[in-house]
Amino acid sequence: MENQRQDIDRLYQAISELRKLILERTDHLQTELAAQRKQMDERFDEQRKYIDESLQDIRSTMDAGFKEVRHEANVNLRWAIGLTLFNTSLILGLGGKLFGIY
């Protein structure tokens, strides 16, 4: 009976030591997980910033390109209107000359 009691006491001691080890390792793992989460959050933030900066650069480049295209289209439209009015006046002038209006 005494042997069994000693065995039980040794088992309780072993179990308490195992609990301590499990708690220590759990705490260590939680600390590592928190550090890794923090590192991943920092990396994600860096990537977001990089992507945002890249998108702003692309937008500014595209806006500058569209501004140039709008300017060229405006100039071309003015030329087209001018040439249309010029051609119309030439045709009316020739028609007037042919039909003796002038």
- Please write the tens of the pLDDT for every residue from 16-72: 999 999 999 999 999 999 999 999 999 999 999 999 999 999 999 999 989 999 999
Q: Identify the band that residue 102 occupies on the pLDDT scale cut at 50, 70 and 90.
A: low
**Exposure string for 46-81, b = 16+ CB within 10 A, e = fewer:** eeeeeeeeeeeeeeeeeeeeeeeeeeeeeeeeeeee
pLDDT at 1: 75
Encoded tokens for 38? 């923090």
How far is Cα 13 from Cα 41, in angstroms, rounded to an integer?
A: 42
- Of 31, 13, 11, 35, which Cα lies nearest the Cα of 23? 31
